[in-house]
Amino acid sequence: MNIDTVKAFTIEDYQNAYKKREFSPTEIIHLFLDRIRLLDPSLRAFLMVDEAGALQHARELEEKKFSESDFPPLYGIPIAIKDNICIHGLPTTCGSRILGNYRSPFDATVIEKIKKAGGIFLGKTNMDEFAMGSSTENSGFGPTRNPLDLNRVPGGSSGGSAASVAALEAPLALGSDTGGSVRQPAAFCGIVGFRPTYGRVSRYGLISFASSLDQIGTLTRNVSDSLALFTVISGQDNRDSTCAPYPPFSSSDCIPENEIKKIKVGVAQEYFTTGVDPVITQRIQEILEILTNQGFEIEDVSLPHTDYALEAYYIVAPAEASSNLARYEGIAYGYRCNQPLNLQDLYTRTRTTGFGKEVIRRIILGTYCLSSGYYDEFYLKGMKVRTLVKKDFEESFKKCDILLTPLTPCLPFKFGEKSHDPYQMYLADVFTIPSAMAGIPALSINCGYHQYLPIGLQILGAPFQEGKLFSFATYLEKILAVPPPDIHSIALEKEVLR
Amino acid sequence: MNDWYITIGLEVHCQLLTQAKLFCHCRTDYIGKPPNSLVCPVCMGLPGSLPVMNHNAMQLAIRTATSLHCQLLPRVVFHRKNYFYPDLPKGYQISQYDLPIGVNGYFEFLTQGEKKQVHIKRVHLEEDAGKLIHEGINLPNNSSGVDFNRCGIPLVEIVTEPDLHYPEEARDSLIALRDLVRFIEVSDGNMEEGSLRCDANISISSHPDHMGAKVEVKNMNSFRSVFRALEYEIERQKKCLEQEICVLQETRHWDEVHEITVSSRGKEDAEDYRYFPDPDLLPYIIQEEVIQQIKSSLPELPLERKERFMIDYELTEPEASVLVQEKSLADFFESCIQELNKPKFIAKWTITEILKNLNALNINIKQSKITPSSFMELLKMIDKKEISGTIAKTILEEMFQTGGRAKEIMAKKGISQINSEKEIEKIVHQVIEQNPQSVADFLGGKEKAFHFLFGQVMKTTRGQANPDLVKNILNKELSAEE
């Protein structure tokens, strides 16, 4: 067995192989640990690899006996975890120096669920500091590189998770999506990224950036793995008040394949503006033609407030962040500046030296928006726009079941290309932000390549209608048959051999 | 000389009597516990933790607002109050802002024999902060520690309208409020232990139509210090105004030792708390059934009960006040009346002897071994003159210790009343012989001497002699001496 054996595996394939005893969890963990050791010095997708923990976990699993009926759904599946999701005893830095020495004393709800389902954690992946960014260049520990082109960014903020799955350092990963942080890196790395409906997955143990927008999502090499992982992590949690009172997602919520063409596809012109790379627009037009030829009904819809969503997001998210990040002040845990003169000095120097530039920018922005005299003008107005954006989607979903949009306005860009201009960087999320503001579920799939760079397609659904999303995405994945990123790509091999 | 118009409003915080903290499962009995022993990721505000509302705390807060006749808001929202301080681990306090639990209420209290009303601006629920420790427990020199045990304990904040005009009124209304929260069993209202805290806003003006600068006084840890601090503050502000010095709008701390208020400059200067709705908590919808349920479960409030005691049982105001200080005591008192219809008599014994024993043991009536029936068994014996008051006091003390019934204790200790005239006569003779001076005094017209001789007889019999018999015989024998 080598990495090529499993490169096209789904979770189901692993499970079948385990049941037939073709290999053991320990062997699989070794396979991926070797892979990480080989590639990660170049990729830098991981901030921390838990070799000992993963191997111990694998051995513990092997000691247990499972029958066919109680075989855990993620038995022996290695998973990479974004470093803003807490695992008991492991470092949890959020990609920030301010949490450089912090280890979480508890498991996030999703971590508990994955453990129970037999999943094995390989380690913690790199990210833009506190999930603020679209390129992983804002990590306090250096950027992750895109496995398809090491000179380009993997996207962000879940860039480490996306790169690790694209390079098959891990078959699947968890990320978090506040304004597109799962979907955009998935698109840049040519894999599947999924953001559930807000409230579908417990946020307990996900370190908050913007509480009303944060949602844990999945990054996988195929649609079926996202569905399987989502099934495990979803469901009500009495430790998160914002978690919806629904049972976990079940594949029985999906639509049978013979009824798939009843799904009405909506297209909103607001997502096909002049700012979009023509390569991307063209590919999506091709896909719409394919769908029409397949007999799908395509409906034009309008989302008139799309243009304002980005601006509103950059009020609401920083406002919440300015408060959520107030706890990093060097008192009870985390980084503290050297020899503070007094309390004020301790706060000021800890925070100005502990946080990176983008985080500080957003804290200042958010603080300003919440300040007395500006609250009504900014925060309240931002929230009103958010309601309008939400209503746009509600209206659209009366006419169609899903919406197809480009995922990003541009292809993966080079390091440094946008990092000097925050606004250009913010625009990279222009198509993922409205759905995040509305709290609706969204899938990002690789719908083709321009030369070797992947093009992301976004599929949006109505709240809690993930079944339709997955059914459609599974179908589309099959008819498009876009290959996942080549794990022996020239970029990777060249760098590694050197 | 000017007429001064004084306006006082109170902000009262009460710790709610819940088992668990407001947003986590940590216990709330932090007094005497080692620092940071009652904490978890949620109340420590560790990264990734989230708050979840304790419904019980919410019920107690609604109960408080209801008993203060507040208008309840159907949709309650929690806001974050953002500020930095080491005892606040999240960098914000979860509190309430423009959509509190209750608004526009009132309560009544008695002050200097008069019934007055204070309007309530708002009642809201919030979490407590931790505590800084500056000395002791293994702290290196020149450093401070933080104890997060108190962090997240539910507080109900009651804000009054500026309806008060004298320090006495402020104190008496606060006492009435304390009685109320105890009575409805939402808080133990203990100022010394900090489960009830009071800040006061005070302003003085020489003109009835406009208010002076608002000064907030903090750090008052007893009813007395509320009274003293306000008295001091009124004098201070009057002096300023008389000398035409501007009174600053500021926060001042009461210095208990020096009995003065001191300006606390710096921290509170035009602080902007950047309130916004906490996105981690959903708005709380209070169902009408819940309100009805809480309303119907509310007991008779202390002032109403006090007035009823004064009318129905003919108690004096001080007597009734003592009895309604705690609901359990008032309940105890009324249960006693069911067994023996002598309210004045029972009130006297409850206020003096029951409270004396409770205070000595530092417990409340519920925690004691005394029941209305055991207490009444004792009081009936006094009433029927089967035992003397002195004996009864000894027996009661024993009842508090062992929980035994009065008759059992008497049998065990060999206490019984001496009703034999012969036996008493013998002792009276003895006392008369031993105290010729007192006898002479009595015969010379000093009534007091009779009491002394009576006391000597009772003392000799260890209080067991029937006092009425003793009086008769002593009278008879003394007349014979004449």
Domain ranges of chain B: 5-290, 300-413, 421-481
Task: Tell me, yes or no, if the pTM score tops 0.95.
Answer: no
Closest CA to A191 of A168, A165, A211, A217: A165
Full DSSP string of B281-328:
SPPEEPPHHHHHHHHHHPPPPHHHHHHHHHHHS---HHHHHHHTTSHH
Cis bond upstream, residue A139 (ω within 30): no
Q: Where would I find the beta strands (DSSP E) of B313-447?
A: none
Please report the pLDDT score of residue A275 as a whole number. 87
Other CB atoms within 10 A of residue A60 CB:
12
- The answer to whether A320 contacts B282, with C-beta atoms less than 8 Å apart, is no
Using CB atoms, which residue from B52, B91, B278 is nearest to A327?
B91
* Contact by Cβ (8 Å): A95, A102: no
- The answer to whether B276 contacts A211, with C-beta atoms less than 8 Å apart, is no
- Locus of tokens 């004084």: B6
pLDDT band, residue B471 (cuts 50/70/90): confident
> Inter-axis angle of helices B421-434 and B467-481, to 10 degrees?
50
Please name the residues in contact with A392: beta carbons below 8 A apart, sequence gap of 6 or more: A302, A303, A304, A305, A306, A434, A438
Please report the pLDDT score of residue B137 as a whole number. 66
Out of A82, A124, A418, A468, the active site residue is A82
pLDDT band, residue B425 (cuts 50/70/90): confident
Return d(Cα A311, Cα B346) in angstroms, integer: 74
* Strand duo B102-111 + B92-96: pairing: unpaired
Q: Characterize A97-134 residue by residue with b for buried, 16 or more Cβ atoms within 10 angstroms of its Cβ, and e for exposed.
A: bbbeebebebbbbbbbbbbebbbbbbbbbbbbbbbbbb
pLDDT band, residue B269 (cuts 50/70/90): low
- The answer to whether B50 contacts A102, with C-beta atoms less than 8 Å apart, is no
Nearest residue on chain B to A209, alpha-carbon basis? B48
Residue A181 annotated to the active site: yes
Please report the pLDDT score of residue A173 as a whole number. 98
Residue A202 annotated to the active site: no
Other CB atoms within 10 A of residue A419 CB:
19
Tell me whether residue B264 is exposed, middle or buried, using C-beta atoms within 10 angstroms of its C-beta: 0 to 12, 13 to 18, 19 or more.
Answer: middle
- The answer to whether A212 contacts B279, with C-beta atoms less than 8 Å apart, is yes
* Contact by Cβ (8 Å): A39, A496: yes
Please report the pLDDT score of residue B270 as a whole number. 60
pLDDT band, residue B142 (cuts 50/70/90): confident
Does the beta carbon of B148 lie under 8 angstroms from any beta carbon of chain A? yes
- Locus of tokens 């710096």: B266
Topology at the third CATH level for domain B421-481:
Arc Repressor Mutant, subunit A (1.10.10)
Q: Per-residue pLDDT for B106 more than 90?
A: yes
B11-63 pLDDT, tens digit per residue, is 999 999 999 999 999 999 999 999 999 999 999 999 999 999 999 999 999 99
Domain ranges of chain A: 3-262+399-497, 306-384
Q: Which amino acid is at B126?
A: E
Please report the pLDDT score of residue B59 as a whole number. 95
Q: Per-residue pLDDT for B96 more than 80?
A: yes
Gap from B265 CA to chain A (nearest CA, Å)? 15
Please report the pLDDT score of residue B447 as a whole number. 83
CATH number of A3-262+399-497: 3.90.1300.10
A contacts of B272 (beta carbons < 8 Å): 371-372
Please report the pLDDT score of residue A377 as a whole number. 94
Please report the pLDDT score of residue B265 as a whole number. 65
Q: What is the mean pLDDT of residues B276-302?
A: 92
Closest CA to A99 of A51, A121, A131: A131
DSSP 3-state of B32: coil
Q: What is the mean pLDDT of residues B430-450?
A: 87
Token pair in block for residue A152: 């380009």
Residue A381 annotated to the active site: no
B338-375 pLDDT, tens digit per residue, is 999 999 999 999 999 999 999 998 888 989 999 999 99
CB contacts under 8 A, B 274-293 vs A, are 274-276, 278-282
- The answer to whether B53 contacts A102, with C-beta atoms less than 8 Å apart, is no
Q: Where would I find the beta strands (DSSP E) of B318-416?
A: none
Please report the pLDDT score of residue A205 as a whole number. 98
Chain A interface, best mutation among B46, B147, B269, by max A CB count within 10 A = B46
Return d(Cα A18, Cα A7) in angstroms, integer: 16
Please name the residues in contact with A109: beta carbons below 8 A apart, sequence gap of 6 or more: A202, A204, A205, A237, A239, A240
Please report the pLDDT score of residue B2 as a whole number. 63
Return d(Cα A343, Cα B157) in angstroms, integer: 28
* Contact by Cβ (8 Å): B232, B239: no
Average pLDDT of every residue of chain B = 90
Return d(Cα B393, Cα B397) in angstroms, integer: 6
pLDDT means per 10 residues in chain A (498 residues)? 94 96 97 96 97 98 91 97 98 97 97 98 98 97 96 97 97 98 98 98 98 98 98 98 96 93 96 91 97 96 95 97 98 95 95 97 97 94 98 98 97 94 89 98 98 96 97 97 89 69
B40-52 pLDDT, tens digit per residue, is 999 999 999 999 9
H or E element that contains B172: helix B167-183
Using CB atoms, which residue from B50, B279, B282 is nearest to A204?
B50
**Among B87-101, B181-195, B302-316, which range has the highest average pLDDT?**
B87-101
